[in-house]
Amino acid sequence: MDKLFQFQLITPDKIVVDQPASFVKLPGESGELGIMPKHISIMVALKAGTIKLVNESITQFYDISSGFASVYAEKVVVLVHKAEKQSS
């Protein structure tokens, strides 16, 4: 499990994503932020944009509104008003 962390993408209506990830790229207010397992704990404001979510060999993209992300060594929680998975 050292190569993965738990990723959650949550809106007021539902949990959009709750799955392990090996990498996530977030659209931070001050620039893009790449998160890998064992990242230092931070809280960051997010701007509207796209989240890139990687789980080993599978990559998914989600369009989000602005919000916040709480990053911990083994978990990332993203709270936004709207989130939608991009079609393949």
| Count of C-beta atoms within a 10 Å radius of residue 29 | 11
Q: What is the H or E stretch that residue 10 is in?
A: strand 5-10
Q: Is the pLDDT at 53 greater than 80, yes or no?
A: yes
Q: What is the CATH number of the domain that holds 60?
A: 2.60.15.10
- Structural domains of the chain, count: 1
Confidence category of residue 87, pLDDT binned at 50, 70, 90: confident
Tens of pLDDT, residue by residue over 5-30, are 999 999 999 999 999 999 999 999 99
Domain that holds residue 26: 5-85
